[in-house]
Amino acid sequence: MFHRVHRQLLAALLFVCIHGRNGCVASGEAGVTYSRGDQSVYLAARGAAYDSDHVDPSHFKLLRKRLASPTVGETYDDPNECTIYLAESSIPNAGLGLYTAVPYQRHQPIGHSEIGILMQDPDFHAPPDRHRVDLLSSYVWSATPLTFGEHEVGHGEAVCPGIGMMSNCHFGLINVEHTSNWKKHYWQDGTDALAVEGGKHSTLSDVGRGSYTWHGNVRYEAHNNIQAGEELFLSYGPQWYENSSSDFGGLIPSAEHFKMADIGLINFMNSLVDPSGMKFEDGVLNHRVPYERLLKKAERYDARLRAALPDNVEDVPMAIELGTARFSTKDSIRSPEWLKENGACLDKIVGGASTIPQAGRGAFATRTIKEGGIITTTEVITIDKDVLKLRKEIKRKDGQIRSRHAGYQLILNYCYGHRDSSLAFFPTSQSVNFINHGSKEDANAEIRWSSFQYHKSEWINYTLAEMKRLDKAGLLFDVVATKNISRGDEILLYYGEIWEENWDRHIGSWGSSPKNFTDMKGVNTTVDFNRKGFVFRTEEELMTNPYPDHLMTRCGFELPTETKADYEVNDPKRVPCDILERDPIENTDRFFYRAKVEYTDKATNEVMLYSVKYDSRQNFLAFVDKPYTRDYYRKGAFRQSIGLREGIIPSQWMHRLEG
């Protein structure tokens, strides 16, 4: 189960990261309609809805039409039509949302593989006042969407651009979910895999090591059949809702509430005794009083159930027809015309293996884009660079612990900024973060403030302090073609002189005095080891044939329960384990493994050892890197934000930074 991290209750959330393909909605847990960033405004809007007049039925014409003649299953292969749009969310005051212009079938992949960037121990490294303003932290996920990300550091949080950052959450209308890689694809996760499989980049001797994220395979799929025009809604996880402000949570229906409301309305309709045989519309005056009673009853039971019900009895038949969740969000399916007119197309670039050595992945044009044309548009998250600083605790001679600045979070390499400004901007749109640096001559794109109607151009006049207090996103970049671009061209941005100088210096120092990466030269990564059919070594065998130092084995594990006669792992966490025995299974190429599994009860911190038998077919055994051994946690890893051209950052956001 993946979930957005709700910072105030981090400690509680750490323990609920469970791998599994079904999100919380599929397993029937409660959810919430969540308006990102601005709960109070959203709340006010929901409050106002109580007093609203009867909703104009014409609002629902499109919805009814689309739901009556679903387009799901039609093949879609017009390469010139945009498939995915950024546009105003159908949830009031939720800012921008993501819409698909094409239908999908359940479990069909949506969008392309994306990178995921791990934030390492954000609570430890954050400046003391981080909680006051840290827009990025309202976008982070638990580390589970990144295969094995949760083992990389003490506590990791995942930044998942693309669908993971742009989608809103409406628990009654969840239609997209993270694809869980861990059973199917974990051995081919990441840029390392690209290096191994494609053979294009040798990560082992690569000067780029540590400068880009290892996680390049964050994927999404349709949670159910999706109509063309639907806004994409991703479950942020029930914890998000449970621990949102109680006022807010108090009004927002969960998936269960919508279901109850649907049933309640049908029962209500069936209960109406209408001796004259009048049509519902004609008898509506008579139904008003019993409906008021129903609403009161619902309110007493649970305000969120009441919020799932239409305010006016006139709307009951429509709410039954569409379902109360769909009814509650009348623009959740937009017309193709609306999307074309109001949306920004996001599928003109796609990630792939870069043509540049050491660059990992790159972004490629999916169609022809003329000079001056918009390649893509992206909302940017404003970040105070202080939030991205890493610190190290130094014990002084007198025993006092001092904190020292020790580099930056990896995400800095994906942020845009200016040498003289302490602000950084992280783009959220899909594939934007794949765009590599090209020399002034090679670059074929540049960043501009967006011409998209939702770009809040007036924010350019904000003071630096105001910018650092932002609790929502509102600024957008356009990536604009500076040359004619053909389909398949790699998109390159000039990252600026400072970036170039630092990169050259990095390469130089790499050559003359190898940093701490070289000790891993010739050593295989988890990708090599996590191959299908790998034969795990027993403790005894490891005495003479050890694994490389940076690897450890993890086993899928669930606490045994009394009700389970046979021990069976369905939805495991991965915990440290050692292989005690290995027995071939007759007439197969499989093994039974007996493993010593180490389980820590988080509540009591008590460590318990279990002896568990695994069939190698289950893929429950895997290699992960020991914490902090991946390249980007090493000293000497390259850290530098991407430079914005002069004239983009207004002068009042600048001040000289030390160093």
Ligand X SMILES: *[C@@H]1O[C@H](CO)[C@@H](O)[C@H](O)[C@H]1NC(C)=O
* Rounded distance between C-alpha atoms, residue 652 and residue 467, angstroms: 10
Minimum CB distance to ligand X, residue 528 (Å):
4
Q: Does 27 bind ligand X (CB under 6 A)?
A: no
Residue closer to ligand X (CB basis): 252 or 316: 252
Distance in Å, CB of 110 to ligand X, minimum: 28
Question: If binding is defined by CB under 6 A, does position 460 make contact with ligand X?
Answer: yes
Least separation in angstroms between CB 406 and ligand X: 12
Q: What character string, x for contact with ligand X (CB under 6 A) and - otherwise, covers 619-658?
A: ----------------x-----------------------
> What's the min distance (Å) between Cβ of 330 and ligand X?
31
The Cβ of residue 598 has, within 10 Å, a number of other Cβ atoms equal to 16
How many CB atoms lie under 10 A from the CB of residue 32? 26
Tokens of 532: 């299908």
User: Exactly one of 56, 80, 281, 370 binds ligand X (CB under 6 A); which one?
Assistant: 370
Instruction: Examine residue 242 and tell whether it contacts ligand X (CB under 6 A).
Output: yes
Taking CB under 6 A as the rule, does residue 461 contact ligand X? Answer: yes
Which of residues 370 and 395 has its CB atom nearest to ligand X in the complex? 370
Q: What SS3 class is residue 275?
A: coil
The rounded distance, in Å, linking the Cα atoms of 437 and 349 is 16
Asked if 528 interacts with ligand X (CB under 6 A), we say yes
State the Cα–Cα distance between residues 184 and 182, nearest whole angstrom: 6
Tell me if 52 contacts ligand X by CB under 6 A.
no
Q: How far is CA 335 from CA 227, 343, 367, in A?
A: 11, 11, 23
Binding test (CB under 6 A) with ligand X, winner from 247, 274, 371, 571: 371
DSSP codes of every residue in 206-243: -TTTTSS-SEEEEEEEESS-B-TTBBPBB---HHHHHT
Nearer Cβ to ligand X (192/315):
192
Residue length, the chain? 659
Residue among 205, 243, 366, 538 that touches ligand X (CB under 6 A): 243
Cα–Cα distance, 506 to 292 (Å, whole number): 70
Scanning 30-176, the segments in alpha helix (DSSP H) are: 39-51, 61-68, 122-125, 149-152, 163-166
Whose CA is closest to 127, among 408, 426, 412, 466? 408
The yes or no reply on residue 30 touching ligand X (CB under 6 A) is no
Q: Does 48 bind ligand X (CB under 6 A)?
A: no
CB of 311 to ligand X, least distance (A): 29
Q: Is 516 in the site for ligand X (CB under 6 A)?
A: yes
Tell me how far, at minimum, the Cβ of 533 lies from ligand X, in Å: 12
**Contact between 444 and ligand X per CB under 6 A:** no
Task: Out of 71, 224, 524, 618, name the contact with ligand X by CB under 6 A.
Answer: 524
DSSP label at residue 566: S
Q: Are 309 and 292 in contact (CB under 8 A)?
A: no
Site string for ligand X, 112-151 (x = CB under 6 A): ----------------------------------------
How far, in Å, CA of 71 to CA of 52, rounded? 33
- Count the site residues for ligand X by CB under 6 A: 17
Interface residue list for ligand X (CB under 6 A): 9, 12, 239, 242-243, 370-371, 457-458, 460-461, 484, 516, 522, 524, 528, 635
